């Protein structure tokens, strides 16, 4: 088999096969403003004198295949490798010039049946392709590759074309969605089940006013908990959906005052003293209701996880940028003297439904969504949320938002989200 024939086969496959591959892999096909020239015209039209030579075309095709982010492998009828690109190595299709054994099994099936075979495989963690792939993470370390193997005949020669695509992100998103549905189902099942049991108890206690009041208050509490969960789910969905908001200068001092007032009653009931530092006269640019929600969530968290007789404090300051041309950030810190958070849990506290102390969360009616909402509000404001904590000492959550100078009177603008792949996490 000559390399020229293989390149010619790939030339034919790159148009029809790549489009099919995009459809198979569940990704959108590229769209262009101008109609796409038919492949037959590209390969058969008479070439002007100053057009590309056959060698030029061959070189261009080689470059396209070599630099593609999709893995391409050509396997001869004998099972030997004929061609492959760098992406095929990164994805683990080929390791040290040898076809991955699990992929080779599919190649054998296609040679026997001469029918397309769509499959997924996970390369061993020790392969160079696995280690070179940047899309994996500590939370989702598995590399998933989706492939299409196709039987091709050209000038009497038979071989298999294999297309490989990194499907890790889709697998991660799907796993996140499954976890989310499972968590929501569990969180709703608990209050719904409690309400059903309490309703039965109420029916059996019609003649006992004290029992009716007791069970009635429990029903109200569980109903409120379920309502809070639904409300926060809607809020989180809107934030993750990238809904825009009109930004405006927000007075940091007024924002903190309003947040402290919002949690004053539960703080007093819990025996927590709220403390604020000196006023700063600073402004940030953002959506005031969302920023108030973020700060209130942080304060509510501090109250819920602090013992009676302690304090929860709020501080504010400006952090100058490290590099020239950067934007100063206004950092609002919420500090408690509570139970603290173990190092192993600190990386997960911003996950949806994660709770450091599940028993305490049930008692306080927490939904496990408060910090996840804070994280997304910060991201939608081009800001950040950071955590410092020591078990037995307490925690400090720091919300940082870009500063704006009120005397500049900036025009309101739509929120720009800096969301990434963890956004459905």
* CATH code of the domain covering residue 249: 3.30.565.10
Check whether residue 23 and residue 58 sit in a common domain.
Answer: yes
CATH of the domain at 216: 1.10.287.130
Structural domain total, the chain? 3
Q: Are residues 275 and 410 in the same domain?
A: yes
Are 335 and 389 found together in one domain?
A: yes
- Please list, residue by residue across 268-280, b when 16 or more beta carbons sit within 10 angstroms of its beta carbon and e when fewer do: eebebebeeeeeb
Cβ contact 10:74 at 8 Å: yes
Intervals of the chain under pLDDT 70: 1-51, 124-143, 176, 179-187, 189-191, 228-229, 232, 236-245, 325, 355-367, 406-425
- pLDDT the model gives residue 7: 53
| Same domain as 15, residue 156 | yes
Question: What pLDDT, on a 0 to 100 scale, did the predictor assign at position 301?
Answer: 87
Residues 254 and 323 in one domain: yes
- Triad 371, 376, 382: Cα angle to 5°: 130
- The DSSP code for 408 is G
Reduced to 3 states, what is the DSSP secondary structure of residue 327? coil
From the list 272, 228, 270, 271, the residue with the least C-alpha distance to 368 is 228
- Domain stop point among 211, 240, 269: 240
pTM for this entry: 0.52
Residue 278: partners with Cβ closer than 8 Å, 6 or more residues away: none
Interacting residues of 164 by C-beta distance below 8 A, sequence separation 6+ = 70, 71, 72, 73, 87, 88, 91, 93, 145, 146, 147
Q: Quote the pLDDT of residue 40.
A: 36
Q: Distances from the Cα of 338 to the Cαs of 54, 305, 374, 386, in angstroms?
A: 74, 6, 20, 17
Same domain, yes or no, for 186 and 253? no
> Are 56 and 135 contained in the same domain?
yes
pLDDT for 425 equals: 39
Indicate the residue among 240, 262, 281 that finishes a domain. Answer: 240
Residue 126 shares a structural domain with residue 179: no
| Phi and psi at residue 237, to the nearest 5° | -60, -40
Beta strands in 24-168 (DSSP E): 71-76, 81-84, 94-95, 98-99, 117-121, 145-154, 157-166
Q: Are residues 332 and 282 in the same domain?
A: yes
Cross-strand pairs, 404? 283
> If residue 331 lies in a helix (H) or strand (E), which one and from where to where?
strand 329-336
Q: For residues 347 and 77, what is the distance between their CA atoms, to the nearest angstrom?
A: 50
Handedness of CA 315, 228, 177, 416 (dihedral sign): negative
Q: Show which of 132, 166, 200 is a domain's final residue.
A: 166
Nearest to 87 by CA among 132, 126, 127, 118: 132
pLDDT at residue 252 in the model: 94
Q: For residue 37, what pLDDT is reported? A: 35
What residue numbers bound the domain in which 348 lies?
245-425
pLDDT of residue 290: 86
Please give the pLDDT value at position 248.
Answer: 87
Same domain, 254 and 105: no
Q: 145 vs 98, 133, 163, 397, CA distance in Å?
A: 17, 11, 10, 39
Strand duo 283-286 + 394-404: pairing: antiparallel
Same domain, 209 and 288: no
* Tokens 């959108």 belong to residue: 28
Contact at 8 Å (CB) between 235 and 293?
yes
Residues 414 and 275 in one domain: yes
- Would you state the pLDDT for residue 183? 63
């Amino acid at each position: 088999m000559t390399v020229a024939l293989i390149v010619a086969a790939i030339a034919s496959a790159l148009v029809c096969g790549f489009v099919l591959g995009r459809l198979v892999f569940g990704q959108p096909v590229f769209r262009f403003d101008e109609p796409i020239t038919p492949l037959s015209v590209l390969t058969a039209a008479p070439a002007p004198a100053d057009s590309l030579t056959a060698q030029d075309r061959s070189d261009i095709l080689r470059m396209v295949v070599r630099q593609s982010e999709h893995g391409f492998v050509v396997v001869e009828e004998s099972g030997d490798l004929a061609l492959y690109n760098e992406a095929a190595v990164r994805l683990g299709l080929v390791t040290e010039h040898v076809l991955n054994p699990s992929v080779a099994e599919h190649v054998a099936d296609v040679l026997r049946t001469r029918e397309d075979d769509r499959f997924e495989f996970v390369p061993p963690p020790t392969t160079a392709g696995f280690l070179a792939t940047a899309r994996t993470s500590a939370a989702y370390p598995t590399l998933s590759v989706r492939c299409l193997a196709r039987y091709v005949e050209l000038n009497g020669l038979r071989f298999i074309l294999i297309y490989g695509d990194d499907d890790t992100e889709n697998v991660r998103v799907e796993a996140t969605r499954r976890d989310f549905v499972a968590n929501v189902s569990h969180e709703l099942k608990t209050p719904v089940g409690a309400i059903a049991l309490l309703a039965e108890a109420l029916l059996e206690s019609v003649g006992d006013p004290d029992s009716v009041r007791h069970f009635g208050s429990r029903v109200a509490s569980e109903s409120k908990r379920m309502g809070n969960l639904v409300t926060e789910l809607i809020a989180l969905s809107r934030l993750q959906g990238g809904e825009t908001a009109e930004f405006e200068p927000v007075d940091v001092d007024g924002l903190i005052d309003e947040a402290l007032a919002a949690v004053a009653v539960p703080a007093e009931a819990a025996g927590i003293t709220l403390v604020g530092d000196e006023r700063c006269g600073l402004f940030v640019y953002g959506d005031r209701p969302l920023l108030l929600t973020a700060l209130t969530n942080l304060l509510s968290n501090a109250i819920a996880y602090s013992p009676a007789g302690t304090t929860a404090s709020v501080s504010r300051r400006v952090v100058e940028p490290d590099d020239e041309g950067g934007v100063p950030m206004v950092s609002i810190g919420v500090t408690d003297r509570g139970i603290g958070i173990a190092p192993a849990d600190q990386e997960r506290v911003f996950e949806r439904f994660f709770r450091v102390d599940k028993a305490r969360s049930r008692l306080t009616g927490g939904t496990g969504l408060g910090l996840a909402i804070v994280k997304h509000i910060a991201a939608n404001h081009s800001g950040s949320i950071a955590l410092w904590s020591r078990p037995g000492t307490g925690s400090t959550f720091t919300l940082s938002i870009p500063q704006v100078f009120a005397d500049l009177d900036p025009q309101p603008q739509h929120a720009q989200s800096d969301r990434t792949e963890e956004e459905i996490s």
